[in-house]
Amino acid sequence: MKAVVCMKYGAPDVLEIKEVAKPDPKANEILIKIYATSVATGDCRVRGFKSPFLLWLPMRMVLGLRKPRNPILGVELAGEIEAIGPAVKRFKKGDRVYGLTGMRFGAHAEYTCMPEDSAVSLKPQNATYEEAAAVPFSGTTALYFLRKGNIREGQKVLVYGASGAVGSSAVQLAKHFGAKVTGVCSTANFEWVKSLGADKLVDYTKEDFTAKGEQYDLILDAVGKTSKSACAKALAPNGVYVSVEGQGIAKVRAEDLVFLKELTETGKLQAVIDRVYPLEKIAEAHRYVEQGHKKGNVIITV
């Protein structure tokens, strides 16, 4: 099978497309033929190994000292089950699924195996494979941090980085939970973020939202570019600040994917896709994502 292989840390050009052995499912695993995956900021960080100094050695121990321990990167996928192990009960051959491989990686390939009890679910019926692949990471991350912030109906919520992958999901999910949402992004994305459900918008290039006199019950930094201390005066009494940076990895459960599937099928959550690249141009996709201006998700067709 074809796979994108990363044999050393470095610039996007270290990525190579190679023929590798097709995996066989173990007793409790499903074999997925992947039709779409994504390139997220996290993929670029792993490939280039960009980590804060204090986390350098621990992260190298986790990911691999001189090169990625799993050379096939990618954590997000949508595809069809081609085979199942003899102990699998949740799925059958032919099921169309989507999910997250997590620290196993392996999604930037034509096939991968996943345990049936991992973060995988039937994909939304009304979504293409490309659309389905744009939901798992951003959707579960936004869901995790909104819940961590104890989001409730009627709250005032600010999403910093509202036009990114996680931010655009957070805006939609916060509205679903009944919040009044302020999105922080550039003016160029105002109308689009408003269409996702934002009630108010702030252009971070022209205004400092913390100096506007507004206070929020929950501030979610979806890009990791602010801090709790910098946002303190914009927090209401007992307000909560959460960030995708430095506050742990979102814990993903299969039931979260089922929840996102249902929201997608009822039109309450839409996949946000900026660009789509074929597998052969994954290095180009990495270069684009590294610029830091993507609007939603960057998808790879396999």
Residue 56: per-residue pLDDT: 44
Domains held by the chain: number: 2
Residue 62: per-residue pLDDT: 53
Residue 90: per-residue pLDDT: 95
Residue 212: per-residue pLDDT: 92
For residues 140 and 75, what is the distance between their CA atoms, to the nearest angstrom?
A: 13
Residue 263 resides in a domain? no
Residue 103: per-residue pLDDT: 87
Residue 262 resides in a domain? no
Query: Which pTM was predicted?
Result: 0.91
State the CATH number of the domain containing residue 157: 3.40.50.720
Residues 42 and 79 in one domain: yes
Last residue within a domain, chosen from 199, 223, 243:
243
Residues 154 and 92 in one domain: no
Counting beta carbons within 10 angstroms of the beta carbon of residue 267, is it exposed (0 to 12), middle (13 to 18) or buried (19 or more)?
exposed
Residue 257 resides in a domain? no
State the CATH number of the domain containing residue 14: 3.90.180.10
Question: Which residues in 40-116 belong to E strands, given as ranges?
Answer: 76-84, 96-100, 111-115
For residues 284 and 224, what is the distance between their CA atoms, to the nearest angstrom?
A: 24
**3 state SS for 221-277:** ECCCCCCHHHHHHHEEEEEEEEECCCCCCCCCCHHHHHHHHHHHHCCCCCCCEEEEE
Those residues whose C-beta lies under 8 Å from the C-beta of residue 237, and which sit 6 or more positions away, are none
- The predicted-structure confidence for 218-268, as pLDDT tens digits, reads as follows 999 999 999 999 999 999 999 999 999 877 678 888 999 999 999 999 999
Residue-number span of the structural domain to which 149 is assigned: 138-243
- The predicted-structure confidence for 36-50, as pLDDT tens digits, reads as follows 999 988 889 889 876
- The predicted-structure confidence for 85-140, as pLDDT tens digits, reads as follows 999 999 999 999 999 999 899 999 999 999 999 999 999 999 999 999 999 999 99
Residue 256 resides in a domain? no
**Across the chain, what does the average pLDDT equal?**
92
